[in-house]
Structure 1
């Protein structure tokens, strides 16, 4: 269940969203604590909006079959789970900075680099599941990770 829920477009979007929030919030010199809460609250709002939009989109008829509100909500909830799961690792790293286990700046940069790694894993697993050759799997990992690298570049430019 976790693998099928985690390797989705919502997961990729979730990691990119978290990275973007780290860039924006961390770019203002905010503490890891403030960046953590900005990320968590923003992800929760985007996740709730995604669940709501998915529920509305799936409610009604699908391929000539009636889809009730409860079923539509369940579909949307399952599809969007990856967005929440994707935010866990970077948020945990930010929490290490927020609780002074590591310096704030280290936590912010580590969360961004872990985002790159998570994106690479998502890309790799997605292409592997589709039976792609090892070269295409690596290319998929690099292509997906490139979004995280773009966020790091943006952070470097903003900082």
Structure 2
């Protein structure tokens, strides 16, 4: 099938602009890494959740700040206002925050003792793999690639999450 025949829906295009960004991938890998580190020392789901939440907020704020500063008058003749640069950076960073939500919710369920701590930590890690797989699949779908390429792209993106799980297995 040619790319001309694989035009994605408006919903996919909108998702690409707001959520399917490098920040989404980076945020998911960051959360997975924090789960690996925080969960490797017998920490409870609550401790891991608090560690992940705090780290994501700090990294997101730093990313937002850096994006604002870098986008404000970045080159001679650029008259981008500070507020415009902030809005652009905020929009780009939405995926960073939203990618952290599903694993954080699972960790919170563990903290509330709705599920066992270890189960919550492992499910949160595997959820990161699923999120990465979806991000990869959507990107290759938007590009209009064939099904085999979409699947390979999805697996390639998910491999970052699997790498975190292997780190957890080796550290633990």
TM bin, normalised by shorter chain, reads: over 0.9
Q: 1:158 and 1:73 mapped to 2: Cα distance?
A: 39
* Aligned with residue 122 of structure 1, among 108, 128, 135: 135
- Are 1:132 and 2:138 counterparts? no
CA deviations on 1:50-104 (whole Å, 9 max, x unpaired) are 0000001100156954100000000000001100000000000000100000000
- Are 1:70 and 2:83 counterparts? yes
Structure-2 residue corresponding to 1:155 = 168
Q: Cα RMSD between the aligned structures? A: 1.3
* Aligned with residue 108 of structure 2, among 95, 100, 118: 95
SS in 2 for 1:28: coil
CA deviations on 1:16-61 (whole Å, 9 max, x unpaired) are 0000000000001100000001000100000000000000110015
CA deviations on 1:94-131 (whole Å, 9 max, x unpaired) are 00100000000000000000000000000000111111
* TM-score, normalization by structure 2: 0.89
4+ runs deviating over 3 angstroms = 61-65
Per-residue deviation, 1:4: 2.3
Q: 2:121 and 2:110 mapped to 1: Cα distance?
A: 8
Per-residue deviation, 1:133: 1.1
Of the structure 1 ranges 60-69 and 90-99, higher mean CA displacement relative to structure 2 is found in 60-69
Q: Which runs of 5+ in 2 are unaligned?
A: 1-13
Q: Which runs of 5+ in 1 are unaligned?
A: none
Q: 1:126 and 1:64 mapped to 2: Cα distance?
A: 34
Structure-1 residue corresponding to 2:28 = 15
* TM-score, normalization by structure 1: 0.96
